Amino acid sequence: MDKNVAKLRMDELYSQVKMCADAYYNNDEPLISDYEYDKLIQELRALETQFKEFARDDSLTKNVGGAPNILFSEVVHEVPMLSLNDVFSHDDVISFMNKTKFDAIKGETSDKIEEISNDYILETKVDGLSLSLLYINGNLVQASTRGNGQKGEDITSNIINKNIPKEIQILDNESSIALQENQNSQHKFLEIPELLEVRGEAYLSKKEFQKYNDARSNLGEKIYLNSRNAVAGILRQNQGSLYNDTQVDFVAFAIQKINGIYYDEPFKTHDDELTYLKNLGFTVPYNVIVNENNVIDEIVKLDTLRENFPYEIDGAVVKLNNLHLCKKLGNTSKAPRWAIAYKYPTEQKVTTLLDIEVQVGRTGAITPRAKLETVALAGSNVSYATLHNFDNIKDKDIRIGDKVLVQKAGEIIPEVICSVKKDRTGDERIYNEPTHCPACDSALVRLEDEVALRCINSNCPAQLLKNIIHFASKDAMDIEGLGEKIVKALIDGGAISKVDDLYTIDIASVDHISAIVGDSYSKNNKSYQRAINIFNSIEKSKSAGLERLLYALGVRHLGKKTAKNIAQHFGNIVNIKKSQIDEISAIPDVGSVIAETVFDWFNIDSNLVLIDNLIKNGIKTDSIGSVKTGGILFNKTFVITGVLPNHTRDEIIEMIENNGGNVSSSVSKKIDYLIVGDKPGSKLNKAQELNINIIDESEFLNLIGKNDEITMFN
């Protein structure tokens, strides 16, 4: 390849990989499938090897792509949480084994060579969120994510009600005795270690993942394409509060530390580690000892077994079993040299598109889905698949009656890739997008700069159920007990017909609610107590505050953080009603699109009636957040990038807000200061282009008169 062509392609790949990695690791919303992403990394790595002069130091071929989430406190991994290099062919697996064997036997005695050549272990690669669990005297004290491998997030508080072991105990003394004798070590396998750090994957079972996506769909929220991003959304993005009954499980595959010891002591092999972990009560991955003679057969066999596992797997891990040799081979900055992940290709099938149906989301978005002739795909029978949007149908000329190519995006959600035009018979029908809502028959509209068709009837019954569920959800008004089943029963029973009807329910209505949600009026039964709890929770929600109310109203594009910023800026709902677009867009993290949406929402008569009714029924519409009207940093907006030497991001954010300032996540002309630490990202370049004030931690502390604190850390 010509050097100039290579440079252009590498620049393109760097940009594409960074964008995809940010969406996958940090936002938990993948843009492409894992398989497609891994192929991009493989291509980039090959070009970097051939054209070293164009390789970048911050390349994601050398580093894990995640960054700690500022919602959680930072955890520094004493033992780095590395990723795995991926391979995509059987030949690559054989090459890996040959290379590790060659490197491992260097300097070893001849009696070790035979053992090394036959000592590998193959495991399932669970599609989940990588976690480190720290136990002290058998009790879980910390759960942290991988992050960038060196630093992750402390998510301990988010796993309290999840199926992740909170304490450990020896389950099988005979097994422990045998393991202790085999190790010939002073370590006592019959005792719970004082300190144990376990590496593994948090995951959603196939059943729980479907349940979780159904819950999101019922709320009109975007569904996840794969279970890894779903579990990350629950544990990293604080979505667990919406779906507390969604169960997260854990599979353990390695010990990071045990009583301060790592690698070759006290265990000899990974197989011994897994035996010990299993004996402590952990679920471990399916595993089998392999060598260069049977590894491919076992990989193929595992592929046939994939549908039998309770969790999704996206590959097979092959690693050297001997821990002493693992230590000898060592690691790169990103991955161990003694292990790889073989990635299974995405399975695709051809079937017949029987019909195209439409669904109504919470915000009125109308989306199409394909009704298919049932086909077995990636371990399940598929009868429906996403078509994404109506433009996609038109652009790809997909017709009813077509033979279509279907795959599971990210191994989970079926999607139609394209039609097989060569197989057309002439009986296929061109699909015409709908003009009216299937639920209320209102005319559909396509708003400017949007792909989706929308029903804008606020009384649309399809939206009503989802709007009330969203309104009552944990992150909104937090009305405990008002899940989908109860809300549907209340609507069908005539207790409510719109959102504000929730606040017309009084204590006299409890018997009515009890009859709707149960079978009896008896004040001693569970249904009656359930109704009382719902009533009390509705009353409590009246004081939730403007921040939650704004989010609960379901204004398009308005997330929790932006709703909070708007609420704290205006202080009460009256000021929001009187505001103009320019004033709204000037608030940190509120762009022109959100500003226009908020302005438009508060200028629709039916929405103003809703607000008035809520106020009449006792809803507090003042912000309960800390609104600073003064301070050293009043009206100043900051962005933070890089690792600060003496304070965490959370500590700096608290200082900024306590002094009247604001914090934004992105650089724009509205920003006053960029605080820069070690290894800053692209935000630094953008700030330089916009001539924004760039300061370090020490200069920031000078701004607020606290630079004397720095001496405490030096």
Active-site positions read 125
> Quick check: 259 and 193 in contact, CB under 8 A?
yes
CA 305 remoteness from chain centre: 27
The CA distance from 624 to 553, in Å, is 17
* DSSP code of residue 670: T
Dig out the tokens for 122 from the structure: 């193959």
Using the structure block, give the residue that is written with the tokens 């949406």: 597
Dig out the tokens for 60 from the structure: 């994601």
How many CA atoms within 13 Å lie on the side-chain side of 145?
33
> Quick check: 178 and 204 in contact, CB under 8 A?
no
Using the structure block, give the residue that is written with the tokens 């008569």: 605
For 105-253, where are the alpha helices, taking DSSP H only?
A: 110-117, 173-183, 206-218, 227-236
> Quick check: 142 and 232 in contact, CB under 8 A?
no
The CA distance from 250 to 241, in Å, is 19
- Of 190, 198, 194, which Cα lies nearest the Cα of 137? 194
Sequence-distant (≥ 6) Cβ neighbours of residue 83 within 8 angstroms = 64, 146, 149, 334, 335
Give strand ranges (E) for 280-364: 287-290, 313-320, 339-343, 348-360
Using the structure block, give the residue that is written with the tokens 């993005």: 237
3-state secondary structure of 577: helix
Label the pairing between strands 429-430 and 399-400: antiparallel
* 188-191-192-197 Cα dihedral, nearest 10 degrees: 10
The CA distance from 689 to 638, in Å, is 16
Using the structure block, give the residue that is written with the tokens 């762009």: 591
> Quick check: 372 and 385 in contact, CB under 8 A?
yes
The CA distance from 25 to 151, in Å, is 13
